[in-house]
């Protein structure tokens, strides 16, 4: 709750800063520094609002205050906030938009990868896909695992490419991403990690968890037969296409086609992280 209040306060402060900067730049209002008596530039006005603007929402207890501090310490927060401010006037609220941005940045090693994940997270929202509570994002693993509206298990791969692409990746055994064979192999590899459950690890995803391996045991029991989607984001335009794959990994249907709202500004701000 504290993190949500902190985001709301900072979002409002950001909006006030932008409005004051615009009014000062247009000469609608003249701002004077009460200490020096000098007329402030529009840039100085904006910075003053950001640094000294009052909070609208107060923190009612220590837990909320701690939550606010944790949010501010997040190394991506200063970049995420301007993006939230730019996009929040559109179709979604700033807190939900922040969640999508944080998911797209997590474990991403390049801007195209992050933009690909951003398109995937938007697609999941649009299709009503909920994250699997035991999924852990690991190197060489799928980009997401969840449940669709019918509560069916669905695995998702995201791609960020310069231009639209329907290309399906293959592994060293020539198994297509999304095929039952590839899913089954990944499941059998993961369940062998049971001896490492709880063992400290610096690798992506941290220590293996029992619930996580139980999820992969289910994939193995299903012989890798589950829904699989590929989400392609055109990193030049922000256009996202969602494809359904069959048990062989071949594309059989296009489920969605949309453009990410506020994509140009979002991409510009996310590019500062890479």
- Residue 217, classified by CB atoms within 10 Å of its CB into exposed (0-12), middle (13-18) or buried (19+), is middle
The average confidence (pLDDT) of the chain is 79
Mean pLDDT across 202-208: 91
pLDDT band for position 250 (cuts 50, 70, 90): very high
pLDDT(190) > 80: yes
Provide the token pair at 62: 């220590």
Residues 6 or more apart whose CB falls under 8 angstroms from that of 61 comprise none
pLDDT band for position 154 (cuts 50, 70, 90): very high
Per-residue burial over 65-101, b = 16 or more CB atoms within 10 Å of its CB, e = otherwise = eebbeebeeeeebebbbbbbbbbbeeebebeebbebb
Mean pLDDT across 141-149: 95
Convert the pLDDT of each residue in 74-132 to its tens digit: 444 454 445 444 444 444 555 667 778 878 888 888 999 999 999 999 999 999 999 99
Provide the token pair at 139: 């190197």
Indicate the pTM of the whole model.
0.69
Convert the pLDDT of each residue in 5-62 to its tens digit: 444 455 545 555 555 565 566 665 566 767 777 777 867 766 765 566 554 334 345 5
pLDDT value of residue 89: 44
pLDDT value of residue 273: 77
pLDDT(224) > 80: yes
């Amino acid at each position: 709750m504290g993190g949500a209040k902190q985001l709301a306060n900072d979002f409002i402060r950001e909006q006030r800063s932008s409005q004051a900067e615009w009014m000062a730049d247009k000469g609608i209002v003249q701002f004077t520094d009460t200490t020096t008596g000098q007329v402030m530039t529009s840039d100085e006005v904006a910075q003053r609002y950001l640094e000294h603007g009052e909070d609208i929402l107060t923190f009612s207890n220590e837990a909320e205050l701690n939550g606010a501090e944790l949010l501010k310490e997040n190394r991506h927060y200063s970049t995420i906030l301007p993006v939230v401010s730019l996009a929040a006037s559109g179709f979604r609220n700033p807190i939900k938009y922040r969640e999508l941005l944080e998911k797209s940045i997590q474990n991403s090693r390049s801007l195209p990868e992050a933009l690909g994940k951003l398109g995937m997270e938007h697609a999941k929202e649009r299709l009503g896909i909920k994250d699997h509570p035991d999924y852990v994002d690991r190197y060489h693993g799928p980009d997401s695992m969840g449940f669709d509206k019918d509560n069916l298990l669905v695995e998702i791969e995201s791609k960020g490419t310069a231009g639209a692409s329907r290309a399906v990746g293959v592994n060293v055994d020539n198994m297509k991403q999304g095929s039952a064979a590839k899913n089954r192999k990944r499941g059998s590899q993961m369940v062998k990690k049971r001896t490492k459950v709880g063992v400290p690890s610096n690798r992506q995803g941290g220590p293996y968890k029992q619930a996580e391996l139980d999820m992969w045991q289910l994939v193995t029991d299903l012989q890798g037969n589950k829904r699989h989607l590929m989400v392609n984001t055109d990193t030049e335009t922000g256009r996202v296409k969602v494809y359904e794959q069959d048990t062989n990994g071949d594309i059989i249907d296009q489920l969605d086609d949309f453009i990410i709202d506020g994509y140009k500004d979002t991409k510009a701000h996310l590019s500062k992280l890479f």
